[in-house]
Amino acid sequence: MQNVRFPIRVYWEDTDAGGIVYHANYLKFMERARSDLLRQLGFGQDAQRDRDDGVLFVVASLNINYHRAAKLDDDLEVVTRLEKLGRASLIFEQNIFRGKERITTGKVRIGVIGARSHMPTPIPDDLYEKIRPWAEA
Amino acid sequence: MQNVRFPIRVYWEDTDAGGIVYHANYLKFMERARSDLLRQLGFGQDAQRDRDDGVLFVVASLNINYHRAAKLDDDLEVVTRLEKLGRASLIFEQNIFRGKERITTGKVRIGVIGARSHMPTPIPDDLYEKIRPWAEA
Amino acid sequence: MQNVRFPIRVYWEDTDAGGIVYHANYLKFMERARSDLLRQLGFGQDAQRDRDDGVLFVVASLNINYHRAAKLDDDLEVVTRLEKLGRASLIFEQNIFRGKERITTGKVRIGVIGARSHMPTPIPDDLYEKIRPWAEA
Amino acid sequence: MQNVRFPIRVYWEDTDAGGIVYHANYLKFMERARSDLLRQLGFGQDAQRDRDDGVLFVVASLNINYHRAAKLDDDLEVVTRLEKLGRASLIFEQNIFRGKERITTGKVRIGVIGARSHMPTPIPDDLYEKIRPWAEA
């Protein structure tokens, strides 16, 4: 998969009294980028919540390294690459940059669960087929 | 209703790069205090979400004045008074203090809606009877 | 001032277990729109924090009415109008829409304080002159 | 170090439209527990921000596994153990439980930096001496 770039502007809500972005908020930035990818593939997460055969993407594990601190008004970019596509899981590499500077590097494992059952569930075929060629790029 | 006091400790997550509590986060503090009141009355909000006759309490309107700024590590208190109890709505006065100092003053109107219908719904009788004497205190 | 429109996409982080946007998060959306206005006027809030003559814009009071609930993936718009420009304060009307539907209506009074002194301070002349014609539009 | 237990109540603000705690918010719970430990050792983080020789504790890296989902109103416990104490860094193991059920397991590496310099800095001697016996317990 080619890298997909998602822009983030840093607002007051994202910062803390240290004058920098609060560490947990980078996870929100990463999630926005993943949700945007799904939306671009035509996958509406909200609609899935109400369908009997709906699926949800949940974070199964995550690790993140903090290299530099982002600040108020910063113009960041989340760079996302699908590292591995399984039948009921995905692994993303997601790094955050300010220009050329690496702010954080991270890896996120996503599990797919039934919206009703909350049990592990394969990715629906049509979505899987949309993700696959792109994963192989 | 007598004043009900709910303690809040200020953590990094609550602050912003101005070195003070981010203005929207006082609304979270106020909501924690209201949720705690409901819990003390034996009303479990999560259980309501799944019941056909469940009700949810939603904020219909809110106003807040910011008098002083709270800071990291501060020990605050949300002081809540039920100003008015209607059949399908409640009005709370909620002020936040640091010791004797008033940090914010606020007023919140809550509407009651069906968990499924999302339409205005009277407060269930048993809950209403629990709130009433307390509202009159 | 003409209305200024600022787009907001709703992500998981913005929602709560009621399936809708958590009420305090609309305040974040409104703040993003105000910060963006300042940025467009060439006013860098982060730079101000470190200057001896820097100023900060702080929320002095706010009221908000919740008309409808926004949901995950919604495409919203914060519509901001400067209602009143004072020497050390501003009043904004900020309403949030989903298409033609009004989600929230709000009014925010902003005070201007010294970044060091934390005391009320007039808006710097150059910024004031940039805001004024626009306020009168 | 013995395990230190820190209670967390789940409020609406912590949840998302999936009906569960939003994944990034567990990091906030973990941070509250760490801040509370420092406070119990008499270390005031806010005071440090203004001192020339002040130090800040920043997250250098973090990994977390999500085993189960916590829900609204849940009564959780963050169990924290200091795994390693260095001169300018600490490694914490932090697991979150609901009763006996493990919700998340995590490991957090903390770096110590100068409040002014933002450069790596040894833990002040008096704080180090307070942490050490406790780390060895």
Residue A6 has pLDDT above 90, yes or no: yes
- Mutation target to probe the D interface, by most D beta carbons within 10 A, among B8, B11, B39, B48 is B11
Residues near D129 by beta carbon (within 8 Å), at least 6 away in sequence: none
Q: How far is B98 from chain D (nearest CA, A)?
A: 15
pLDDT of residue A65: 98
* pLDDT tens digits for range D2-39: 799 999 999 999 999 999 999 999 999 999 999 999 99
Q: Percent of chain A beyond pLDDT 70?
A: 99
Torsion of CA B115, C14, D103, A47, to 10 degrees: 60
Residue of A nearest to C39 (CA): A73
pLDDT at C101: 98
Structure confidence at residue A1 (pLDDT): 59
- The amino acid at C73: D
Cβ contact B16–A18 (<8 Å)? no
Contact A27 D23 (CB under 8 A): yes
ipTM score? 0.94
Lowest pLDDT segment from A126-130, C42-46, C56-60, D37-41: C42-46
Chain B residues inside the 8 Å CB shell of A72: 17
What is the percent of chain D with per-residue pLDDT over 90, rounded to a whole number? Answer: 74
Check: CB of residue B15 under 8 Å from CB of residue B8: no
pLDDT of residue D1: 58
In chain B, the residue whose alpha carbon lies closest to the alpha carbon of C107 is: B63
Q: How far apart are CA C19 and CA B52, in angstroms?
A: 16
Q: Which of D13, D22, D72 faces C12 most closely, judged by CB atoms?
A: D22
What letter represents residue B36's amino acid?
D
- Nearest-by-Cβ selection for B49 from C17, C58, C65: C17
Sign of CA dihedral D110, D113, D119, D120: negative
For the cut 70, the answer to whether the pLDDT of residue C58 exceeds it is yes
What three-state secondary structure class fits B43?
coil
Radius of gyration of chain C (CA): 16
Q: How far is CA A46 from the centre of its chain?
A: 16
Q: Is the pTM of this model over 0.90?
A: yes
Q: Which of B22, B27, B28, B116 to mutate to test the interface with A (most CBs of A within 10 A)?
A: B22
Catalytic, D16? Answer yes
Question: What Cα–Cα distance (Å) separates residue A132 from each residue in A10, A31, D75?
Answer: 32, 20, 41
Give contacts of B63 with chain C, Cβ < 8 Å. 61-64
pLDDT at B123: 93
> Cβ of C17 and D17 within 8 Å?
yes
Task: Give the residue-averaged pLDDT of A98-103.
Answer: 98
C58 and B23 Cβ atoms separated by less than 8 Å:
yes
pLDDT, tens digit, 9 for 90 and up, residues D66-111: 999 999 999 999 999 999 999 999 999 999 999 999 999 999 999 9
What pLDDT is attached to residue C120?
Answer: 92
Query: CB neighbours (10 Å) of residue C34?
Result: 23
Chain A residues within 8 A of C28 when measuring between CB atoms: 11, 13
Quote the pLDDT of residue B52: 82
Contacts of B15 in chain A (CB under 8 A): 16-17
**Residues of C with Cβ-Cβ distance to B64 under 8 angstroms:** 61-63
Other Cβ atoms less than 10 A from the Cβ of A100: the count is: 5
Q: Going residue by residue through chain B (137 aa), what tens digit of pLDDT does each one get?
A: 579 999 999 999 999 999 999 999 999 999 999 999 999 888 888 888 778 888 999 999 999 999 999 999 999 999 999 999 999 999 999 999 999 999 999 999 999 999 888 899 999 998 899 898 877 76
Contact across the interface for A17 and B12, Cβ inside 8 Å: yes
Mean pLDDT of C42-53: 82
Q: What percent of chain D has pLDDT over 70?
A: 99
**Pairwise CB contact (< 8 Å): D18 & C24:** no
Is the separation of the CB atoms in D15 and D21 below 8 Å? yes
- Kindly tell me if the per-residue pLDDT of D125 is higher than 70: yes
> Which residue of the set D16, D53, D73, D75 is catalytic?
D16
- Name, in order, each residue with C-beta under 8 angstroms of C53's C-beta and a sequence gap of 6 or more: C114, C124
Q: Which among A11, A44, A74 has CB closest to C32?
A: A11
Q: What is the average pLDDT value for chain D, to the nearest integer?
A: 93
Q: Tell me whether residues A24 and D23 touch, CB distance under 8 A.
A: no
- Record: contact C24-B23, CB cut-off 8 A: no
Helix (H) or strand (E) holding C62: strand C55-66
**pLDDT of A9 higher than 70:** yes
Report the residue of C9, C10, C12 to disrupt the D interface, i.e. the one with the largest count of D CBs within 10 Å: C12
Question: Taking all residues of chain C, what is their mean pLDDT, rounded to a whole number?
Answer: 93
